Amino acid sequence: MEATRADRVEPIVCRSYTFARRYPLVIGKISGWAPLWGPATPTQYAIGVGGALLLLWTMRLWGHLPGPANLLVIVGVPFGLAWAVRAARFEHRAPARALLGLLTLLTTPPKGRVNGRAYFEPRPHPLRGSRIFVTELPPPGGRRRRRG
């Protein structure tokens, strides 16, 4: 039996390298703009700027160093902290996402939500009657057992 033409057709393997070509163009850029000091994560920028501002605000407490050593501390310490958090991960998440998750956990109601509102268990209603009567239910089938 002769093979038909459809049996002899081999599949065509296609590949797209668009992502691989674009990746070097976008790495280390923020909205298309590349900072002069190199690529860094948003966490590194926040730690660096926040650390420098904190050191500037508290300079009267620690700023008694001789010569330009104060400037060296204001520039070097935030840079070192930013370098130290370059690969920080908390539960396999970036620090900003982990902090957002912690904030969400702290602001969520303890019992959760029902239909978008915080759920609160209803208050217990204690029985305040003077007498409570308890009876024995008959067994299933309508017959009563004889006690012997």
The tens digit of pLDDT for each residue in 55-91 reads 999 999 999 988 899 999 999 999 999 999 888 888 8
- Using pLDDT thresholds of 50, 70 and 90, give the confidence band for residue 50: very high
User: Is pLDDT at 34 greater than 90 in this prediction?
Assistant: no
Average pLDDT of the chain?
82
Considering only residues 54 and 33, tell me which one the structure prediction assigns the higher pLDDT.
54
The share of the chain scoring above pLDDT 90, in percent, equals 33
145/43 Cα distance (integer angstroms): 76
59: left (phi over 0), alpha (psi -120 to 50) or beta: alpha
77/56 Cα distance (integer angstroms): 12
